[in-house]
Every structure is written in C-alpha cells, then in structure tokens.
C-alpha cells in the first residue's frame, strides 16, 4: 500500500489525482501532517509526500531504521514539477515509484542513487538474494575499479561490467559460503528439493530434514527455488507448510511422470503407496539437472519424510523485442525494460543503432546486416542456451514479418522465452492515414524471397474476393518491381478505380511522408521497401482528407438513413 500525505490545497489536488488513478494501491492520510507521516510510515510499504523534501526529512528522520525494511519515500513539490526518490530507492522501490508518479503527474523523476545515476544495475535490484559487501562492491563498480565476476553457476543476469581479476568480487553461487570483506555473493534459485512424506508428517520434521541435507552438502537454503513432490501429496500439511515457511512454491506432478525418471535409489515402498518407485529423487530430477543430494530420510523414528536435492540446469532467457516503427516514443516501456535487462543483444545493425543508447554498460552486442535473419535467430537461441539474458530485436512487432518466427523455430523448451509486442508498421501507417483498418483487414508481404509468388498471389486474390482492407509489406524494391502492380491489378478486379489507397514511407520517423491516392491513380514508382501500402475495401472512403473504413455499426446505418 502507498500512503499519500499532503499539507496544502495544491498538494491535495495532486494527491487526489494519484488516489483516483491508483484506488487499489493507495491510502490517503489526513489530519496533522506529523501524525499522518508517522502512521503511513508504520502501515505502508511506500509513501508519496506532497511536501518539501526538507520537511519530509525532518518528519521521517526519527522513524528510519533499516534500509532493507523501511518504506520507500517519494516527495512531490508544491508545483508538481519533480518526483524525488528520497529514501528506499532500491529496497523500498522509491526509484521506480518516482518514475511512475512522474509519468502520471507530468513531473520529472529525480533519482540520485549512484548506480541508477550512471546506469549500472544495482546489486540489490537483481531480484536474487544478495549477501556481503554490497555497498563496497557497488562503489568499486562506480569508480571503475576492476571487479571480478566468479560465476560458479550460470544464471541470466543483467550486464555487469566485471573483470577477470580484481580486488573486489561478485560471486554467483548456490553453495553455503560466507562472503569475504570485498565480496558480494549472489544466490540464484538453482536448487530443487524433492520431498516425500508419510501421512501426517510434521512440518518441523520436513524442515529439519531439508536443513540438515543442505548443510551437510554445503548448499544455501537461499538458492532453493521450489519444493517438488507427487500429486498425491499436494495437500499433505507438513509439505505444504514447509514450502510456505521456506517461501518457495510447491510443485507437484503425477506418479506416471515420476515413474519415468531414472533415479539411483528406487524403492518398492513409494511404488506401493503412490504408484512410483521414487518421489523425492524423481521430483527433484523431473526437469533435468544434477542430483546433488541423493534420497535421505529424516532422523525421526520412524522416519516420516524423505528429501533429495538437484541443481536444475541454468535456463537462459530470450526476450524477442519489437522496437516499433522507429519513433522513440513508440518504443514501449516493456521493450525498454527488456533492453536494459539483457546482457546480450542480437539484432540487425541499423536497429541496434536506434536503441544503442538505451543499453546498460557492459551489454554484449552481436549485430549483423541484412539477409542474416536465420543466423541472428540461431545466435540468440544459442546465447540463451548458454545461460545468458538475451534480447533479440526486430522492428515493428517482432512477431510480424520479423525475428520471433525464426527464433522460436530454433528454440526448444530448455530456455525461457518472453515476447514483447511492438507497434507494427501497418498500425503506424494507419494512424498517419486516418482509420483505414477500422474493419476487417489483412497484411500481406509481397516479398517472394522465401514465399513462392504463386502462394502470395493466391492470398491476394482471397483478400480481394473477401473485400478485406489490405496492407502490403515489402511492396517494391529494385529487384522486385513487378509484384506490386500485379497485386494491385488483382485487387482492381474487385474494386473501383476510386478506392482509396494510402502510401506511407518511414512511418513515425523524422523523414516520414505520406499521400492519399486511389487504386486507379497509384504510381508504383512512389513505393520502396520503406513504404507501407494500404488499399481500402469497397466501403473505405476519403473523409476530410483522411482514409476511413467504417466499422459498420448499426447506429451509423440509421444515421445515414435519417440524412437521406
């Protein structure tokens, strides 16, 4: 919950705008400001104070305790010009909140956290447990001192400008090691604990068994990703409570699935009880990995619980990102976030140039020229399989005539894949023209480099006979100058010469140009590979210089009848 506090009428007006926009996230605190701040500080995860920063500093100073537990505090000035992240920038989420508040109120977010200010990922913002000298290692990164990255296990981290050797170290490990005085230990969620239990097994017995097993193997409980067991035990109170206390999900699977897993210690007892010769080991190994701790029983007599621990394979992350049609303000916030999260970027060189300034320092860039689409797709998947966080970029929407299709054809289920939608060229061109896509429409690429012309022509004829608005991608190039006239001739068999046609080149970019013409008057020489051609259907009209395809609402028909 976000507590909102104000002292003046102007502050209250901005406060109320925030409360109206986030009704489920905010709570307004009234009364004396000092009492309101104290109450909100105790009850909320974050605060937005519509007060001077000096006043807020004095009010919260007696309340501050531990930066890992204190709420994040954002101040908005009386004029609503700035949203200042005051305390709890990382731990309390104040930096992100300042950006959100700024976007909503039209204020400039002010973030002074050192790593954010120089565009380095904060070690305490990786979403993973972190121990050790976080401040000292972060300072070393900021000062440009050599910081060694010791990755004992692979995990898709954002770019960290680390050296091979250095006085400071970032260690990525799931082992139970104490960080040195100049070391940060990052613990990725690599461990899967398989658990079996008799009916009524106490939660304390299950937890003690897991703790003993991890301690004896030198593994960290902070790297436990999940507890896993058989479906028949999904409601066993001791197992359910153990997962809750460890703060990890409980994953269950069928006995049939577990029975197919090859394990070193099968047993007749679980086979008779639940239908599989192994529960703990099989559940830990179900999705592959290395068995670090074979099945062991709890110390109680009789033993009512078993566990086994596996290190799951590192799953790289592939984000397929659509950059939009070219304008920076049409690049989505989600796309920007993925670009900044990636440690490896793969893309066409001219697209890389568009967003190079958004990448964090240390991002490895793998760029290539036109015609290397399949190579880029294979490279991106290979980098993800190696355990990296990868962004594969394409223009418009990456799933529309772009990189998502070849990449996903290469990818298997051994990596995580995230699709990030983008504004397509058809949509950007449509916005320039008016509303040509107001009713059913189709996009067709006229490039026959990978699709036989016979197939393309069949699709154009189908769209023509179905009276669909048609957007042509890749309409004409130096080596392909006959396909567009042929496609237009096919449409002309079904549509009048006066049918509106929109031609937009470089939609949304600085050199954008457009013209509204007709099917009979369109000159193919106006068109190149940077152009999108949209041909209306039989209902499309030019209205006030704009191309409009009516949706066909019944009230529109009634209005037309009334005006006749």
Q: Which residue has the tokens 């001077």?
A: 52
Spatial contact of 267 and 237, defined as CB atoms under 8 Å apart: no
Residue 417 pairs with which residues in a beta bridge? 318
| Average pLDDT, 10 consecutive residues per value, the chain (564 residues) | 88 88 89 89 90 88 82 88 86 85 88 62 74 84 80 82 76 92 91 94 95 96 94 93 95 93 89 88 92 93 93 89 93 91 93 91 89 91 92 93 91 90 95 95 92 95 96 91 94 96 93 94 92 96 94 60 50
Give the pLDDT score at 355.
93
Spatial contact of 533 and 505, defined as CB atoms under 8 Å apart: no
* List of residues 6+ apart from 250 with CB closer than 8 A: 226, 227, 228, 229, 234, 239, 240, 243
Residue 69 pairs with which residues in a beta bridge? none
**Phi (first) and psi of residue 550, to 5 degrees:** -60, 145
Q: Which residue has the tokens 């070849």?
A: 406
**Phi (first) and psi of residue 105, to 5 degrees:** -95, -5
pTM: predicted TM-score of the whole model, two decimal places: 0.72
At 135, list the tokens. 């401040």
Give the pLDDT score at 124.
66
SS3 391: strand
Give the pLDDT score at 216.
95
* List of residues 6+ apart from 273 with CB closer than 8 A: none
Spatial contact of 529 and 473, defined as CB atoms under 8 Å apart: no
Say how many C-beta atoms besides its own lie within 10 A of residue 200's C-beta: 9
Give the pLDDT score at 560.
53
SS3 407: helix
Burial of 321 (0-12, 13-18, 19+ CB in 10 A): buried
At 412, list the tokens. 């298997």
């Amino acid at each position: 919950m976000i507590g909102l506090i104000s002292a003046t009428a102007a502050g209250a007006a901005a406060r109320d705008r925030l409360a109206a926009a986030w009704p489920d996230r905010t709570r307004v605190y009234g009364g004396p400001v000092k009492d309101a701040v104290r109450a909100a500080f105790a009850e909320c995860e974050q605060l937005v104070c519509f007060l001077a920063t000096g006043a807020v500093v004095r009010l919260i100073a007696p309340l501050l305790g531990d930066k890992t537990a204190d709420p994040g505090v954002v101040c908005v000035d009386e004029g609503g010009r700035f949203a200042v992240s005051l305390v709890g920038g990382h731990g309390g989420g104040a930096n992100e909140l300042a950006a959100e508040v700024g976007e909503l109120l039209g204020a400039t977010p002010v973030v002074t956290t050192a790593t954010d200010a120089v565009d380095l990922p904060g070690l305490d913002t990786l979403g993973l447990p972190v121990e050790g000298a976080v401040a000292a290692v972060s300072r070393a990164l900021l000062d440009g001192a050599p910081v060694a990255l010791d990755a004992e296990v692979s995990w898709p981290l954002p770019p960290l400008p680390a050296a091979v050797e250095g006085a400071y170290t970032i260690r990525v490990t799931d082992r139970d090691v104490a960080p040195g005085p100049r070391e940060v230990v990052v613990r990725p969620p690599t461990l899967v604990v398989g658990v079996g239990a008799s009916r009524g097994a106490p939660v304390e017995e299950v937890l003690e068994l897991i703790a003993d097993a991890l301690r004896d193997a030198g593994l960290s409980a902070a790297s436990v990703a999940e507890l896993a067991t058989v479906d028949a035990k999904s409601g066993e109170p001791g197992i359910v409570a153990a997962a809750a206390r460890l703060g990890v999900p409980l994953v269950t699977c069928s006995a049939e699935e577990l029975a197919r897993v090859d394990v070193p210690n099968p047993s007749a007892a679980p086979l008779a009880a639940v239908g599989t010769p192994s529960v703990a080991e099989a559940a830990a190994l179900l999705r592959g990995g290395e068995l670090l701790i074979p099945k062991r029983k709890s110390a109680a007599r009789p033993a009512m619980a078993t566990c086994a621990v596996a290190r799951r394979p590192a799953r790289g992350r592939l984000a397929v990102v659509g950059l939009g049609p070219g304008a920076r303000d049409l690049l989505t916030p989600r796309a920007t976030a993925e670009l900044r999260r990636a440690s490896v970027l793969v893309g066409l060189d001219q697209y890389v140039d568009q967003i190079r300034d958004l990448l964090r320092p240390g991002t490895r860039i793998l760029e290539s020229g036109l015609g290397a689409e399949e190579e880029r797709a294979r490279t991106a998947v290979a980098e993800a399989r190696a355990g990296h966080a990868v962004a594969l970029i394409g223009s418009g929407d990456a799933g529309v005539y772009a990189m998502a299709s070849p990449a996903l054809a290469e990818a298997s289920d051994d990596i995580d894949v995230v699709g990030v939608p983008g504004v397509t060229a058809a949509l950007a061109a449509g916005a320039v023209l008016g509303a040509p896509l107001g009713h059913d429409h189709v996009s067709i690429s006229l490039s026959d480099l990978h699709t036989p012309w016979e197939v393309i022509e069949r699709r154009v004829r189908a769209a023509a006979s179905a009276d669909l608005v048609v957007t042509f991608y890749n309409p004409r190039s130096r080596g392909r100058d006959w396909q567009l006239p042929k496609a237009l001739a096919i449409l002309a068999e079904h549509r009048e010469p006066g049918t509106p046609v929109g031609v937009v080149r470089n939609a949304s970019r600085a050199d954008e140009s457009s013209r509204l013409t007709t099917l009979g008057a369109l000159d193919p020489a106006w068109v190149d590979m940077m152009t999108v051609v949209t041909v209306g259907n039989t209902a499309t009209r030019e209205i006030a210089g704009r191309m409009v395809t009516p949706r066909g609402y019944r009230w529109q028909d009634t209005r037309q009848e009334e005006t006749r």
